[in-house]
Structure 1
Amino acid sequence: MDILRSLPIGLYLEQPITWLHRLDPRIKLFGLLTFLLSPIQANEPWRIAIAVLLIILTLASQIPMRVWKQQMGILLLLAFMTLAIATFSPDGFNANIQPRRPIPEVNVTAEKALSASLLTIKLPQPTPYSYVVWKAGSITITRRSLDLGVRVCTLIFTYLYAPTLFLLVTAPEEITAAIASIFAPLKFLKVPVVEIVLTLTLALRFVPLVLEEVQNLGRAMRTRSINWKRLGFKRTTQIWLILAERLIDNLFIRAEQTASAMQVRGFTTPNTHIVVWNPLKFLPRDIILLVLLVAMWGLRIWYGNEF
């Protein structure tokens, strides 16, 4: 299986160029922070709305289905499995608390009589509220378990898919240019912004190389047709350790080649080599999207609070 084609995690989609590609990277970075920070201490409708908005944004951007179908399907399956497990599990409020000291016999008799009298009297409920949402036999779904399931499944989908979509439509150079533009005032505090941004650029460029090395090692193992069942635990562990050592050696070789290429091109330090990023300029569509994001934060503060 081709990892780079089936699960393009951290890769940039060069073609086709959608309207998400044309947005200013600073706006996309602010949008990513909105998707990641707004679900914190938010209520259930807001978390569900954020996850649904990510799906609608993917469909509206006209990104080819082959790019996001498998990874979105895996994340949705993981989210729904987490929802089912958390919903049908006990919520932790069913534990019976017993007193440490024995209760006198008179009090026990009085409590039994009081409970029997309460059972015969059925008081009407003032509101339709019910802590138990659904019950069938030994399976009980309460409001707490349902809230926990929705919270976990939406956070898993949002926190894993939002960065993937952001990296899919934003080039690494645009990300670094946006970060350099946002943190440019820190230069007056003698913060090495250029060095940090350059390190981030190299890290983003190194992610596809890591996936490529893993893919090459996987193909090499498949061509040898190793029977893992007959090797045993000890020999299987030794082979995996050898593969991990080989992977680290290959990554160090790639890093050394990258450093050599930078030195050949005359790059020594940011002070002697001017790092030219992509020019950033706000367009009318970027301003409209910025206003929508600010309105989204206002709606989050006004409506989406949990308490």
Structure 2
Amino acid sequence: MDLLRSLAIGLYLEKPTTWLHHLDPRVKLMWLMSFLLSPLLANPLWRLSLVGLLLLLFLLASIPFRVFRQQMGWLVIIAILVFLITLIAPDGLTIAHQPRLPSLDWGTPVKSYNYVLFDQDLLWGHKITITRQSVDLAIRVSSLIFTLIFSTNLYLLSTAPEEITAGIEELMKPLGYFKLPITEIVLTLTLSLRFIPLVMEEIQNLVRSMRTRGINWQKLGIRNSLKVWVLVLERLLENLLLRAEQIAVAMEVRGFTSPNEHKVQWHDLRLRWPDYLALAILMVFWWLRFMWGQ
């Protein structure tokens, strides 16, 4: 089993290159923050529209379906389970409701309003009650989980780690007037993103080494099994510290003594006409959010 390919950790998709890859990372970061902030205090219809918009972006980008199945297939299952569990769970309103009808004039049609949408007794004695509050809460929770994870993963799929850090550095430059170490923060973020595959590789190597030794965990018992896992964790920590030391030595040899003295520009960030178009659509997006999604 290859952990680097099987786990859904937002890996960068190098091939095929889609139109999302060519957008400026700063523009994509603005869209990501919009997807994360716009569901706040929004109505359920807007939240469902965000889910549909994200799926539409995924289809228009022509990302292979295998990527969706490997990295985001579990998200759809979790969102559906959260929706169903929240739908049939108690809505939190334990008070008794009395149906009330407004005073109507003669000739005005009476519109029926039911707070309880579904109320059915099951064969084994349990009762399922679905109310308007539970439907609204189910939509809010499930759509928020889906939007949060799917939008972040879509951003990581179409943006290289160096582009992410370069875009964040450009957006954080105004904070330099407050004497904040922007370059050091971005360099640390870059090294952290690059260190994640090394961690996964070390874990994968230790798991394979444990399998090749054919340890009989049942004969060891709980106490001895815990001792073995403690030794494995110690070995993992030693290997990670060794990798970190090797990276530090390699940076010192190449002259990375200070970020201000030795700075490498990975990408030339320039806004092009697709980026301006994306920014214009983003303005329309927020206009619709305040006019229609409130």
Is the TM-score greater than 0.5?
A: yes
What does residue 152 of structure 1 align with? Answer: 141
Alignment of 1:14-33 (within 5 A): 14-33=14-33
- Measured in 1, the distance between the counterparts of 2:161 and 2:216 equals 41
Q: 1:136 maps to which residue?
A: 120
Which secondary structure state, in structure 2, belongs to the residue aligned with residue 135 of structure 1?
strand
- Aligned-partner Cα distance in 2 for 1:3–1:32: 27
Length-normalised TM-score, structure 2 = 0.88
Q: Give 1:11 deviation, angstroms.
A: 2.0
Alignment counterpart, residue 203 of structure 1, candidates 183, 192, 196? 192
Counterpart mapping for 1:135-284 below 5 A: 135-137=119-121, 138-284=127-273
Give the residue type in structure 2 aligned to 1:242.
Answer: L
CA–CA distance in structure 2, aligned partners of residues 291 and 224 of structure 1: 59
Q: In structure 1, what is the equivalent of residue 79 of structure 2? A: 79
Cα pair 1:10 1:204 within 8 Å, conserved? no
Q: What's 1:103 paired with?
A: none
Amino acid at match of 2:171: I
> Is the Cα contact below 8 Å between 1:6 and 1:70 reproduced in 2?
yes
Q: Which digits, 9 at most, give the CA deviation of each residue in 1:250-306, with x for residues without a partner?
A: 21111111111100101101232133231111111111111111111111111112x
Tell whether the 8 Å contact from 2:31 to 2:282 is kept in structure 1 after alignment: yes
**Corresponding residue number in structure 2 for 1:100:** none
Cα 1:74–1:230 shift into 2, 3 Å: farther
Output aligned runs, 1:105-144, within 5 Å: 126-137=110-121, 138-144=127-133
Q: CA RMSD in A?
A: 2.2
Alignment partners' CA distance in 2, 1:129 and 1:178: 51
Unaligned runs of 5+ in 1: 97-114, 116-123
Q: Contact conserved, 1:10 with 1:207, CA < 8 A, in 2?
A: no
Query: What letter corresponds to residue 40 of structure 2 in structure 1?
Result: I
Cα separation, partners in 2 of 1:190 and 1:141, compared to 1, 3 Å: same
Q: Which amino acid aligns with 2:211?
A: R
Could you tell me which amino acid in structure 1 is paired with residue 61 of structure 2?
Answer: S
**Counterpart mapping for 1:26-65 below 5 A:** 26-65=26-65
Q: Between the two structures, name the one with larger relative contact order (CA 8 Å, sep ≥ 6).
A: 1
Q: Distance in 2 between matches of 1:304 and 1:51?
A: 14
Which amino acid in structure 1 is aligned with residue 147 of structure 2?
T
Closer, same or farther: CA 48–224 of 1 in aligned 2, 3 Å: farther
Structure-2 change in CA distance of 1:238 and 1:42 (3 Å): farther
Q: Residue deviations 1:94-136, cap 9 Å, x none?
A: 367xxxxxxxxxxxxxxxxxx9xxxxxxxx9943321111121
What are the Cα deviations for residues 163-182 of structure 1, in whole angstroms up to 9, with x where unaligned? 12211110111111111111
The Cα shift of 1:233 comes to: 2.9
Cα 1:230–1:128 change in 2 (3 A) is farther
> Match for residue 94 of structure 1?
94
Question: Which residues of structure 2 form unaligned runs of 5+?
Answer: 99-107, 122-126
Map of 1:4-15 to 2, 5 A cutoff?
A: 4-15=4-15
- What per-residue deviation string (whole Å, max 9, x for no partner) do you get for residues 5-48 of structure 1? 12241321111111111111011100110111111111111111
Q: Return the offset for 1:72.
A: 1.6
CA distance, structure 2, for counterparts of residue 219 and residue 294 of structure 1: 51
Query: Shift in Å at residue 155 of structure 1?
Result: 1.4
State the structure with more CA Rg. Answer: 1
Offset at residue 248 of structure 1 (A) = 1.9
TM score, norm. by length of structure 1: 0.85
Residue type at the aligned position of 1:163: T
